[in-house]
Chain A
Amino acid sequence: MNLTMRALLGATALSATAALAQAETLTIATVNNGDMIRMQGLTADFTAKNPDIELEWVTLEENVLRQRVTTDIATKGGQYDVMTIGTYEVPIWGKQGWLVSLNDLPADYDIDDLLPAIRGGLTVEGELYAAPFYGESSMVMYRTDLMEKAGLTMPEAPTWEFIRDAAIKMTDKANEVYGICLRGKAGWGENMAFLTATANSFGAKWFDMDWKPQFDQKPWADTLNFYLDLMNEAGPPGASNNGFNENLALFQQGKCGMWIDATVAASFVTNPKDSTVADKVGFALAPDNGLGKRGNWLWAWSLAIPAGSQKVDAAKKFVAWATSKDYLALVAANEGWANVPPGTRTSLYENPEYQTVPFAKMTLDSINSADPTSPTVDPVPYVGVQFVAIPEFQGIATAVGQQFSAALAGQTSAADALANAQALTEREMAKAGYIK
């Protein structure tokens, strides 16, 4: 090896070391779902554009992640530079001053392109505190063959009465076919997500403008009685233990006529590899009662930067990359339009290629019909469609969910469950200082 060659090699090694020394490492906390895992596989695009930034991933189950990032942000532990959080956390944490404002993202990010409903849920007093990575709502998924057999046609926007009628007609308990599968497992993100969204369409609400709990009012009784009657008549046995995954399994095995749940389920039930009914699934908007609100929820997994992070600039670059229009195009080029993270940008839904994806329009219509800043028929003092964005909600709603799950299991009556829910919510809200 001659001298020039050696000198060149030496210089390369030195500059490589220098680059390594300058590289900033971002630690990103995220949930285990298809879109997030896909993003981890595509980060080469980001690191190629930003050679001075390295990425480190922490993937956790949703509830573990929630506990983990809450501890870290509340104690300013500084373990994460980018956090994946939902529409429940953003308003609370934003108000606490725990998140970095993203209003100053570069112009080419085109902040006005974000879907208004989603953007509204992530904004506190005019400041955008998280960038939406993917948005989801809920809708009706139904078996086209069973619907036809029952002699019915699913309207694009069904009413609860139609759903009830169809569920009863589709039920064939002897052959283990149940007209409707709904969440029954207790939890604020399980049965209460479904029931709170349903209650909105029945004119019910969690609190009035004075933060007084409303479980003693007629709309909540109507909601719960309707749900219990429907499930007892046309639901699967043991429904009080069923959450998203249990219902997904039932639906894929052909045991449900209808299933009302997250829009993300559409890609699972139509996947012929896992689903025995993949070619017999239709979609419709979540039902309503003619009161102006539909029973669908709104959620967006979003990327946020904790206040106090030492690497805000690098973190912003990453957040902007992962939620940009270019990223959507990158996924489309690599994995096809059907795998693009849905529900964040208007331009995506204007793209003629994306419009050919089944359930694309239904997802957009569902998202647009849910407004987190005005979720109920009557005005309420809170933000959130299937939740109330206050820190106490997780605990209260899980306790209420246990009451309603017990009512579904037949361990208590609907009236008692509502009375208990009212008493425990009043107690907790008084303790937290909302009411006297």
Chain B
Amino acid sequence: MARAVTPRRKALTTAAAWTVGVLIFFPILWIVILSFKSEGDAIRTPIEVLTSAWTAESYATVQERSDYFKHFLNSVTISVGSTLLGLVIAIPAAWSMAFVPGRRTKDVLMWMLSTKMLPPVGVLVPFYLMFRDFGLLDTRSGLVFVLMMINLPIIIWMLYTYFKEIPAEILEAARMDGAGLREEILYVLTPMAVPGIASTVLLNIILAWNEAFWTLNLTAAKAAPLTAFIASYSSPEGLFYAKLSAASTMAIAPILIMGWFSQKQLVRGLTFGAVK
């Protein structure tokens, strides 16, 4: 039975939700504000920043100095590519762990997650050497591979949780109707898990889009994504806040817009199976 909600309680909850929302969004908002200020104004006190003149000169400078579109295309290729490749491996893996668990399934899941606990810099040099020997340095395919590896544990874990919610009996019925393993996964399991798969895809695209350690360290000029584009605008000696903010705004805008439109899907997927 649903609990009665008083108007006062509702107002309080709404206010609390807005406060948290604004707090989380504030840094992004501030970046957008700074991106429309001159370098001189961007370093003033917050009040002076808000009252100073607005200008789009930083966007013009950034546009003139770097090839945004090249970095953007690299970001799209790397984030979408690594997520799709990850799915191809993760769907069968999650299927086997969810529906035919072995004695060690829980340990395998834990072990996969443990790879996320390693600081990436610890394996930078081995990775760098392997990339050098295979000719993968500064290539998009190399980054697709490495980001897939890094996000794979998360993809498998998420899919595993979604698959657990699907009654095994349905798959059994499919098998009794003569479906092979391939048909079972492709035509029965996957369509039922679409909300879960969609949110996994979205979350992983966001993670890969924002990944800044490997994308900076394994690229130079050709495969550099938007993270490298942002990094080129920071400087320890000189004024750069406005230009850096403009570059950041341009880099996060596509993913922010994508997140905005797929909000419903993302929330539904993330809370999938949370309420029983």
Contact = CB atoms under 8 A, between A and B. Distances in A.
Given A27-B220, A249-B43, A273-B40, A61 B128 contact: no
Contacts of A419: none
Contacts of A264: 237-238
Given A80-B220, A273-B40, A75 B238 contact: no
Contacts of B217: 67-68, 71
B181 to A, nearest CB: 43
Contacts of A68: 216-217
Interface stretch (B93-101, B164-172, B228-236, B250-258): B228-236
Interface in A227-278: 243-245, 248-249, 252-253, 262, 264-265, 268, 273-275
A253 B137 contact: no
B12 to A, nearest CB: 36
Contacts of B233: 32
Contact of A78 (B125, B129, B132, B239): B132
B184 interface: no
Contact of A75 (B128, B228, B237): B128
Interface stretch (A51-59, A142-150, A318-326): A51-59
Interface string B119-158: 0000011001101100001100000000000000000000
A80 B217 CA distance: 13
| Chain B at the A interface: SS class | loop
A71 B220 contact: no
Nearest to A244: B237
A68 B222 CA distance: 15
Tier of interface size on chain A: 35 or more
Contact of B238 (A58, A80, A245): A245
Contacts of B128: 71-72, 75, 77
B44 A32 contact: no
A189 B236 CA distance: 10
A32 B220 contact: no
A23 B222 CA distance: 17
Contacts of A61: 231-232, 234-236
Contacts of A433: none
B43 A32 contact: no
Interface of B: 38-40, 43-44, 65-66, 124-125, 128-129, 131-132, 137-138, 216-217, 220-222, 224, 228, 231-240
20 contacts: A27-B220, A32-B232, A33-B238, A60-B216, A60-B231, A60-B232, A61-B232, A67-B217, A68-B217, A71-B124, A79-B138, A189-B236, A245-B43, A245-B238, A245-B239, A248-B238, A249-B43, A253-B44, A268-B238, A273-B40
